Amino acid sequence: MTSTPRRIAYQGEPGANSHLVCQQAYPDWEPLPCASFEHAFAAVENGDADLAMIPIDNSIAGRVADIHHFLPTSSLKIVGERFLRIQFSLMALPEASVDSLRTVHSHVHALGQCRGVIRELGLTPVVAGDTAGAAREVAESGDPTQAAIAPPLAAEIYGLQVLRADVEDEDHNTTRFVVLSRDFEQAPSGSGPVVTTFIFNVRNLPAALYKALGGFATNGVNMTKLESYMVGGHFTATQFLAEVDGHPDDPDVRNALEELAFFTTEVKVLGVYPADSFRGA
């Protein structure tokens, strides 16, 4: 009897960077492409998928829009993280050549991260919904004047030839992904480097944020992320997303979180998960 493969949802079309990192991290799982981040979250929440692989930060573009708003309201928890070095290729139909190209299609961020090759070849950029979708559209067009900038995996899937590899402007272009699950599976304490992600709302008092964060300094806890967001359209109500090195069961982290709770109206842990080896590198 053949067992049903487990499924991991991602936003984008087959061949996207999210698809690639799913293959690398969960090679035996079935990737489930979703039209939007909201659909990827829903796929896990309703049981269509077991996990979701969601980008959260990029070393060039910064935080990924919308994700930080979905996380606090979702029932899903972070159970892991992965880092992916972003590599883009310039691809076109098998009969195309560099000299035949006139336009290049891709996601707006990818176009912005590959300005050098676009300028060198004198191509007109055309914004597409995502990188892999641009590759699919070029394949379907039958037009040798069109090219796409997309991950190399997209060329394999859609039968395109790679005319230029590694066309990204910066070789440090890296995206961090978080793995989301319905189940709150905390990494065990003492089993290696751990990241704790949480959100909190500060009380509307003078120096409330300063006092709330003081416990992390006095307890020697390294905070690696702190980002603020408006809540409900109110300029006085601010929510923060934070990440620290360590486990909530560690005495220093536990003491810092207890002090944080004293100066906040809400503290919600979104995940306690193993730190990816990329952090050490």
CB neighbour list of residue 78: distance below 8 Å, 6 or more residues apart: 71, 178, 179, 180, 197, 270, 271, 273
Instruction: Give strand ranges (E) for the chain.
Output: 7-11, 30-34, 51-58, 62-63, 77-85, 89-92, 103-106, 124-127, 146-150, 161-164, 174-181, 194-202, 223-231, 234-245, 264-274
The active-site residue, picked from 37, 41, 177, 263, is 177
149: closest CA among 140, 141, 137? 137
The active-site residue, picked from 41, 88, 131, 175, is 175
**Which residues on neighbouring strands pair with residue 231, listed in sequence order?**
234
Sign of CA dihedral 25, 28, 31, 37: negative
Known catalytic residue at 177:
yes
Known catalytic residue at 41:
no
Active site (catalytic) residues: 175, 177
